[in-house]
Amino acid sequence: MNKPDMSKQEAQEIERLRQKIRRHDTFYYIHNQPEISDREYDRLMQELKDLEVRHPEWVTPDSPTQRVGGKVADRFDTVAHKIPMLSLDNTYNVGELKEFRERVVKGLVDVSSDEIEYFVELKFDGLAVTLTYEDGIFVKGATRGDGKKGEDITANLKTIHSIPLNICAGKEKIKLMEVRGEVFMPRKSFQKLNEIRAATGETLFANPRNAAAGSLRLLDPSITASRKLDIFVYGVGFMDPMPFSTQYEVQSELEKMGFHTNSNRYLCGNFEEVLPWIETWEKKKDELEYDVDGLVIKVNSLDYQKKLGATSRFPRWSVAFKYEPEKGETRVENITCQVGRTGAITPVAVLTPVTISGSTVSRATLHNEDEIASKDIRIGDRVVVEKAGEIIPRVVEVIKSVGERRGPRFRMPSKCPECKESIYRSKDEAVLRCTNSVCPAQLRERLLHFASRDAMDIDHLGPAVIDQLVSKGGVKHFSDLYKLKLQDFVRLERLAEKSAQNLIGALEKSKSVGFARVLYAFGIRHVGQRAGMILARHFHSMNKLQKAEKEELEFVMEIGEAIAESVSTFFGQKSNRDEIARLAELGIEMEFKGEAMGDRLAGKQFVLTGSLKLFTRDEAKEKIAALGGRVMSTVSKKTDYVVVGVDPGSKADKAKTLDIPRVTEDEFKKMVEK
């Protein structure tokens, strides 16, 4: 603390504020018993931020100010779990649960069945994660992944206030500890998030679990922070030494350490004591503020758990009892089709309202035409509807009566319900799609993609501006963006003249991003950045690419049948060709201007790590792709080169371990600019 540029008094004040904020975090986020107002809490946090701004050398990873301190990531690194994160075997009735008990008893041959205690807890419907603490400080968090390896989502997990960043304040430090938990989104947060997405025209999340999983895998931690996620920690993956002897003790001690554990946990002296909890929670689970889809039953003794071991997929000492989703009967009043943001056309059943799980259901997804055909769902049918945490439930089956007269079979439309353009179905998909790049139902999302950094890179053209341009009817095509004048942007809310001028400049600059990026910007199905570059390099101009037959496209290295069909279908649509012509007239570059540098990196795989100074990451990727190489996200034996920038991560270490050439940025520059 005796820093030459920091007074002892300020150092003490920083630590005092941190301790105070941590205490209030515990009472607010874990015990749900706030002791101060939000305004007072914000004042304390601002005081701490101000002190840390004056003394940045004193900022620590476990400071409360660092919960949303992560930068926007390019991708997630892979993390190897010290102990595998296995899934749970599922049971759906008491008979199957008794079979689990019999396997446990058989596996513990030297133990009387009366001596085996069971631990029962709720099965949360979220995303399993692991949290690693070194010397009491939270250093890494990861998803389960495939059980052996997951994704490093530390920055996103830090935004969850119920995860302590320091578990040893005032206590003896724990050298290394890995705990397991389930991240979830409370129902109120989920409802609010979907209301916001509905208001902005975004696709709704199907259920809280999907919302939580999607939020944890966002590359921008600040967006994750706005999602109001929570966690229940339920176990220890690794701890050396392991001071606990039972599962019950594990959770009790985790709670004392400051972790958010669930209070609905029960120690059962024998198997028979487990059964009443199944009936109890089947009735009570809908009263909770979070989703639960069953119970988890574990052998309580950690020693017995070790003796029972695990299969390659499941622990033998634990099992999940899952409740069947609730169902109801109703009638199909109509079948309509809606167009999603990617052009997918989804049939939806309009139902006579029915109450399921305490809420009224009046619509149910029918997924696609194959689903309707296989279940033979028709207008007027009596049907069974299932609600398993879905926003739009699904039709399980048709209730058919002998002699009942039914309506005609449903036929999917031959034209897009929104723009009336032709639609198509790929031979390896069950989904019908509208490929019109300016279909009104897809316009907002397509414009966002068109303007994104990796596409046309139109700075300042974000969701708020696009929403206004679309809602006011000023933009119906990509080309309309380039016809707008300064006064058109100045009229928009919260857009000052300086910002409007910057936007006009960004639009003008985007005209020369290059043919490959323009291809990617169109949002053609299956055409990512690499495919766009390959097609641009091969055909050299939009005019030649438009004339290419599907067979010719398939001949191009790395393109394949799926991409060829998608590209051929896109250019076969007159509305898309007309839009390309309009963009060309407005000065958008439609020819490949890259140097004819050949294929000297053909087949070579690169991995980039650290901050690059001579190139942006996008520039480095484009140069590699232009020479026939590929950029991969992870280092493997197939990697040819690892380009090492400033502050490289674990990828550089792995390259050294695998004896893969590591090149500096200067060396890389010589490779791509010969």
Peptide linkage before 84 cis (omega within 30 of 0): no
Q: Tell which residue, 98, 3, 83, 89, has the closest CA to residue 51.
A: 3
Contacts made by residues 652-655, CB under 8 angstroms, sequence distance 24+: 652/609, 652/610, 655/607
What does the alpha-carbon distance between residue 384 and residue 366 come to, in Å, rounded to a whole number? 13
Residue 138: count of CB within 10 angstroms of its CB: 22
Token output for 533: 């570059």
- Identify the H or E element spanning 562: helix 560-571
* Bridge partner residues of 232 (DSSP): 182
Q: What share of the chain is helix, strand, coil (3-state, %, to 5)?
A: 40, 20, 40
Nearest-angstrom CA–CA distance, 674 and 627: 11
Return the residue matching tokens 């935004």: 159
Please state the φ and ψ torsions of residue 51, each to the nearest 5 degrees: -65, -40
Active-site residue, selected from the candidate residues 3, 8, 98, 123: 123
Q: By the 8 A CB rule, do 421 and 410 touch?
A: no
- Find tokens 């409007």 and name the residue: 500
- Amino acid letter, residue 669: K
| Bridge partners of residue 183, in order along the sequence | 127, 231
Is residue 558 left, alpha or beta, with left meaning phi > 0 and alpha meaning psi from -120 to 50?
A: left
DSSP state of 87: -
Closest CA to 665 of 617, 625, 632, 622: 617
Contact, 117 vs 268, CB < 8 A? yes
Pair of tokens at residue 639:
């990697």
**Residue 171 CB coordination number (10 Å):** 12
Q: Does residue 123 have an active-site annotation?
A: yes
582: phi then psi, degrees, rounded to nearest 5: -65, -40
Cα 249 to Cα 236, 255, 299: the distances in Å are 11, 10, 13
CA 51 distance to own-chain centroid: 35
What DSSP character marks residue 646?
Answer: B
Q: Which two tokens stand for residue 138?
A: 């939270």
For 122, the 3-state DSSP assignment is strand
Q: Strand 318-322 vs strand 292-299: parallel, antiparallel, or unpaired?
A: antiparallel
Catalytic site residues? 123
